[in-house]
Chains A and B, each alone.
Chain A
Amino acid sequence: GAGVSQSPSNKVTEKGKDVELRCDPISGHTALYWYRQSLGQGLEFLIYFQGNSAPDKSGLPSDRFSAERTGGSVSTLTIQRTQQEDSAVYLCASSLGWGVQETQYFGPGTRLLVL
């Protein structure tokens, strides 16, 4: 089946505006992750959804960041009042479950540029 998809592929916005990034996980995958990849940095964990459990938001860098997952499928990452330091590639990943055997499959990411 189709892999993880993300939209938009690229997003340019002005400082102070809000942006929404979308992730469509692989069908049937119950676990969904958001990561951020800043220039010259590795990937940084943001948030994790698993089924109907409360999400792990421990990686969100500030209260300007939020995410939701509707119907256990599509997820939206929202960044309010964007700042230049928010410029990065935002990657979404999904896995079949939460078991330790599960491989995370990544989408192509959304490149966000805040001017």
Chain B
Amino acid sequence: AQTVTQSQPEMSVQEAETVTLSCTYDTSESDYYLFWYKQPPSRQMILVIRQEAYKQQNATENRFSVNFQKAAKSFSLKISDSQLGDAAMYFCAYRSAKHFYGGATNKLIFGTGTLLAVQP
């Protein structure tokens, strides 16, 4: 079974600074997807960034980028130029790339989250 581990329950960053959130995962599959979701106090889960395991290039979305190390099974999120609106719980998630009819469900497997505080 796949597992996702986030070892930092809480992190803090100064506004305009850079912070990196860590995520490791365990899987025997070779093809999969990795995600970072943001959950503000409103509880709405928002997709931040996605990485396909078959791609070597790290995904980037504006101020958000990832460092994907497939061999090490590591998937960290870097937030540059942190803003007050970035304060939230961040979840790392894994999803198998197996076809549904191959017996796999497209369910997401989540880590326990990292609560990010942004100091003004």
Interface residues of A (CB under 8 A from B): 31, 33, 35, 40-45, 48, 50, 53, 56, 58-59, 89, 91, 93, 95, 98, 100, 102-109, 111
**B106 near A42: Cβ-Cβ < 8 Å:** no
Q: How far is the CA of A48 from the CA of B99 in the complex (A)?
A: 14
Interface residues of B (CB under 8 A from A): 4, 6, 33, 37, 42-47, 50, 91, 93, 95, 97, 99-100, 105-113
A43 → B minimal CB distance (Å):
4
B61 → A minimal CB distance (Å):
13
B108 → A minimal CB distance (Å):
6
**A48 near B106: Cβ-Cβ < 8 Å:** yes
Number of contacts between A and B (CB, 8 Å)? 63
When distances are taken between beta carbons in the complex, the residues of chain A under 8 Å from B46 are 106
When distances are taken between beta carbons in the complex, the residues of chain B under 8 Å from A89 are 43
When distances are taken between beta carbons in the complex, the residues of chain A under 8 Å from B97 are 100
**B44 near A31: Cβ-Cβ < 8 Å:** no
Q: Select which of A40, A45, A105 is within 8 A of B107 by beta carbon.
A: A45
When distances are taken between beta carbons in the complex, the residues of chain A under 8 Å from B45 are 43, 91, 93, 106
**A108 near B110: Cβ-Cβ < 8 Å:** no
Q: Select which of B50, B107, B113 is within 8 A of A33 by beta carbon.
A: B107
